[in-house]
Amino acid sequence: MSGFGGVLPWARRTLVERDKILTSEEFSAILGICQIVPGPNIVNLAVCVGSRFGGAGGAIAAVLGLTLGPISIVMLLALLYEHYSYLEAVKGVLRGISAVGVGLIASTGFKMLRDEFRYPAMFLVVIVTILAASYFHLGLGWVVLIASPLALFLAWKKARQE
């Protein structure tokens, strides 16, 4: 419930920084896999972490724990919004909430990027990804096909050094 509307930053803070269930590198690796498979990244992450520590039951519990509370709140907010959406105060609150969400996600991205400073060669993957998506306007599938071989090679090289 504490990460409502921007769960990834809270998940990273809880799993990596507060409870130290995962290392920062493990979190980034699991999230990378979760971004490739279909579905919301945070739900995929919950399945991976839940199944790692509790098997199939852990995966189900993690997903239910992640989604039941926010779904209930969204249903209640939808009912309230239906009646009060015309108010300027409601519109202002929604604008503020969206700004907070963007800030939380950007903060998590910078924290994850900080981990890559330990192995600067991985910045090549970041640069290739940004160029492919932004400059060449390629779709996600093409970006993954282009960046994955380089990322896998560099990860293999990094693993051999450790």
Residue 110 shares a structural domain with residue 31: yes
Residue with tokens 């051999």: 160
Residues 88 and 68 in one domain: yes
Are residue 73 and residue 133 in the same domain, yes or no?
no
Does 140 lie in the same domain as 60?
no
- Counting the structural domains of the chain, the total is 2
- Range of lowest pLDDT (41-50, 67-76, 97-106, 128-137): 97-106
**What's the pTM value of the predicted model, to 2 decimals?**
0.56
Residue 30 Cα distances to 37, 52, 90, 105, 156, angstroms: 11, 11, 37, 17, 16
Cα–Cα dist 17/15, whole Å:
6
Of the residues 81, 96, 116, which one is the last residue of a structural domain?
116
Q: Are residues 75 and 63 in the same domain?
A: yes
Read out DSSP for 70-83?
HHHHHHHHHHHHHH
pLDDT of residue 112: 77
87 and 141 housed in the same domain:
no
- pLDDT, residue 67, reads 87
**CA–CA gap between residue 11 and residue 63 (Å, rounded):** 13
Statement to judge: residues 41 and 69 lie in one domain? yes
Taking a C-beta distance cutoff of 8 angstroms, is the pair 1, 8 a contact?
A: no
CB 59 within 8 A of CB 50: yes
- Is the same domain home to 58 and 101? yes
HEC assignment per residue over 83-148: HHCCCHHHHHHHHHHHHHHHHHHHHHHHHHHHHHCCCHHHHHHHHHHHHHHHHCCCCHHHHHHHHH
Q: What pLDDT was estimated at residue 1? A: 66
Q: Which domain holds residue 80?
A: 1-116
Q: Are residues 69 and 107 in the same domain?
A: yes
Query: Are residue 125 and residue 159 in the same domain, yes or no?
Result: yes
- When pLDDT is averaged across residues 124-141 and rounded to a whole number, the result is 90
Same domain for 94 and 138? Answer: no
Whether residue 66 is found in the same domain as residue 137: no
Helix, strand and coil percent figures for the chain, each rounded to 5: 85, 0, 15
